[in-house]
Chain A
Amino acid sequence: MADITPILATSGSVYIDGTKIEGVSNVKFGDKNIMKDITVLGDLAKKNYPTIQEWSLSFDMKTLRTDPGQIKLRASKSAKTNLVYIVYINGSMYYTSEGGFVEGIDYNLASAEDISDSSVTISSYGTATLTS
């Protein structure tokens, strides 16, 4: 087996408008093409073809009242501002979005034993460019 160098998840990070969001976990970034079904009569198998691109971003975070990144995120939700999100896979591999809107912030206070979590969903606005 060839040597491989996996990337530790902790070396990733999420930035909003140039400010890192602290206390983040469970990041899910989707870089995808919207597929169009171009199957025609006579085909023996389904044919999907890529059209425009789309990205998606969701993550959980410990609710931090004074973290500048989280403050910016919560303010962006209220003000409906289009901000640049950067998702670092590690220090040299990252996605830079053209823009995005906060779709939702769900606060989780499930148990008295828990520390407050928030689940965040970002909706894409334009492209996401990979640098690696």
Chain B
Amino acid sequence: MENYHKVIIISLVEDVADWLVTKGEGTLGTNLFCYRWGDGYADGVLVTSTGGNNPERFIDGDVSRINKTFINILVRNDDMITGLAKAEEILSLFEKNLITNCVSNKPRRDEVIYVGNENTTMGIIHYFGIDILVQQVKSNT
């Protein structure tokens, strides 16, 4: 099955995924994915987006705006404790670091969410969720 990690739908999803790679949270296309899960790894991270808030616009001759995009991260693991630890590690990364060219990338909640589990051919997989509000200045030109 093909992976969608090369498809740019929302550039910020790619930016966040690339940033997580630089922080050692996975390898893009192997155990870190954009938009949909790849095959093979019970232990993985998925970066996607479900829209965002209205952009903040300025009195600037329609030159720029601050985009406010929801970035949603799912962490999966066949071990619940390991998965939770990984999700908490990623949440902390967003709390204490600023992604290059972003104004802010703070999590929207103070804890990770336990999304649930699924019985798969790889065994029972547990899913944890993190929602981030990423703010980034975009030029209208």
A positions within 8 Å CB-CB of B: 8-14, 20, 22-27, 59, 62, 88, 91, 113, 115
Known: A8-B62, A10-B57, A10-B62. 13 other contacts (CB 8 A): A9-B59, A10-B61, A11-B61, A13-B61, A14-B59, A22-B63, A25-B58, A25-B59, A26-B59, A59-B59, A62-B58, A91-B61, A115-B104
Chain B hits for A23, CB < 8 A: 58, 60
For residue B110, give the distance in angstroms from its CB to the closest CB of chain A.
12
Check: B106 CB closer than 8 A to any chain A CB.
yes
For residue A62, give the distance in angstroms from its CB to the closest CB of chain B.
8
Binary flags per residue of B47-79, CB closer than 8 Å to A gives 1, else 0: 000000000111111111010000000000000
Contact B57 A113 (CB under 8 A): no
B positions within 8 Å CB-CB of A: 56-64, 66, 103-104, 106, 135
Complex CA–CA separation, A115 to B66 (angstroms):
11
For residue B140, give the distance in angstroms from its CB to the closest CB of chain A.
9
A-B contact count (CB 8 A): 43
Contact B135 A24 (CB under 8 A): no
In the complex with contacts A22-B64, A115-B135, A10-B59 CB distance below 8 A: yes
Chain B hits for A88, CB < 8 A: 61
Chain B hits for A25, CB < 8 A: 56, 58-59
In the complex with contacts A113-B106, A115-B103, A115-B135, A22-B60 CB distance below 8 A: yes
For residue B96, give the distance in angstroms from its CB to the closest CB of chain A.
13
- The B contact surface, by secondary structure, is strand
Q: Can you report 15 A-B residue pairs in the complex whose CB atoms are below 8 A from each other? A: A8-B62, A10-B58, A10-B59, A10-B60, A10-B62, A11-B62, A12-B59, A13-B61, A20-B61, A20-B63, A22-B63, A24-B58, A24-B60, A25-B59, A27-B59
Chain A hits for B66, CB < 8 A: 62
Complex CA–CA separation, A8 to B57 (angstroms):
11
Complex CA–CA separation, A12 to B135 (angstroms):
23
For residue B93, give the distance in angstroms from its CB to the closest CB of chain A.
18
Chain B hits for A62, CB < 8 A: 58, 66
Contact A12 B61 (CB under 8 A): yes
Chain A hits for B103, CB < 8 A: 115
In the complex with contacts A115-B103, A115-B104, A115-B135, A20-B59 CB distance below 8 A: no
Chain A hits for B62, CB < 8 A: 8, 10-11
Complex CA–CA separation, A25 to B55 (angstroms):
13
Complex CA–CA separation, A124 to B42 (angstroms):
66
Chain B hits for A10, CB < 8 A: 57-62
